Amino acid sequence: MIISMRRHATKEQIEHVCERIREFGYKVHSIAGDERVVIGAVGVGDVTPCLEMLEATPGVESAVRISAPYKFVSKEFKQEATRVRTNGVEVGGDEFVVIAGPCSVESEKQIMETAEGVAQAGAKILRGGAFKPRTSPYDFQGLEQEGLELLAKARAATGLAVVTEIMSDKDVGRVAEYADMMQVGARNMQNFALLKELGKCGRPVLLKRGMSSTIKELLMSAEYITAHGNPNVVLCERGIRTFETATRNTCDLAAVPLLHELTHLPVIVDPSHATGKRSLVPAVSCAAVAIGADGLIVEVHPCPEKAYSDGAQSLDLGQFQKMMRDLKGYLALWSESRRQPQPA
């Protein structure tokens, strides 16, 4: 923090400000200029409460934050990229990781057929919701326990790792028994009780950006998980809500390189929820590869027109296989760029 004192701040006021900053646990460096005193405060942790105190303290003209309010997830804290490992797959490493599967787990036949198809096409992780966050209480809410068991069966049959959504802190233990990776959906990005519990769950977390959340808020949510003990977090850009209605959301692709500047955590893109339209998924997927994402999460269903949720944005197995083939050339360039030294 940099604190500028008022021009005629008294010696007592300056000393009082320094004393209060020290009480918050920060080190104080004050510089007396010709006109005013400027105080630098350094230390760890979120400075927000200290800033609020300073704004209300006599003699202070302004107090500004100079470092980000998140620490563990920041590049300042750790320079090298975090590789999140789950069931033999590494996200954030030398390979672009594709996660694929249906929006919801619907039946044994549906999840098995999808798992086999996406595995053959090169996906490494199977997605599928057993607990579904639906806008309407009358829509399909997921198979819950049965869905978790079916996902475990699909993993056993294909060797794919499994990611599934967790909606409540009360279900963390039970979902962690079945899933290799815990997905926090857009609607729960700021469910702080859930984030704290996930800090202790021992499984990597796929944290999706809230539909109206800023990059800073996304990183603060990731900070919750890491500060509570779990450094294995993958971030996901899944589109944000804007004035545009032609697509379900607006895909904020620039968020990918920006996040890579700010954090060491891997970043993947969800072209399905970002667009809401199956026809746009392959193009946005190419763009995600080109812009340096660490992977994709794509909705795939053996018969999208019969899907219980998100059919319009789901690829069928043939479309997914074609997309994976078409991505190959871009992925070769992606691998080459990963081998080049990254700018600091």
Using CB under 5 A, list all residues that contact Mn ion. Answer: 103, 310
Q: Does 18 bind ligand PEP (CB under 6 A)?
A: no
**Half-sphere exposure of residue 334, counting CA atoms within 13 Å on the CB side?**
22
* Binding residue count for ligand PEP, defined by CB under 6 A: 10
Which of 45, 58, 88, 133 lies at the binding interface for ligand PEP (CB under 6 A)?
Answer: 133
Q: 185, 199, 204, 271: which one contacts ligand PEP (CB under 6 A)?
A: 185
* Contacts of residue 181, Cβ cutoff 8 Å, sequence gap at least 6: 86, 125, 161, 162, 163, 203, 204, 205, 206, 234
What does 45 bind: Mn ion, ligand PEP, none (CB cut-off 5 to 8 Å by kind)?
none
Residue, CB closest to ligand PEP: 185
Binding range to ligand PEP, per CB under 6 A, among 92-100, 150-158, 184-192, 312-320: 184-192
| SS3 label, residue 142 | coil
Q: Which is nearer to ligand PEP, 155 or 238 (CB)?
A: 238
Cβ closest to ligand PEP, residue 208 vs residue 301: 208
**Under DSSP, is residue 37 helix (H, G, I), strand (E, B) or coil?**
strand
Q: Pick out residues in 189-218 that bind ligand PEP (CB under 6 A).
A: 208
Q: Residue 301's binding partner, choosing from Mn ion, ligand PEP, none, with beta-carbon cut-off 5 to 8 A by kind?
A: none
b/e map 18-37, b = 16+ CB within 10 Å: bebbeebebebebeeeeeeb
Q: Which is nearer to ligand PEP, 21 or 219 (CB)?
A: 219
Alpha-helical regions (H) of the chain: 11-23, 48-55, 108-121, 145-158, 172-178, 192-198, 215-227, 255-262, 271-275, 281-290, 317-339
At 98, the amino acid letter reads V
- Where on the chain is the footprint of ligand PEP (CB under 6 A)? 103, 129, 133, 185-187, 208, 238, 270, 273
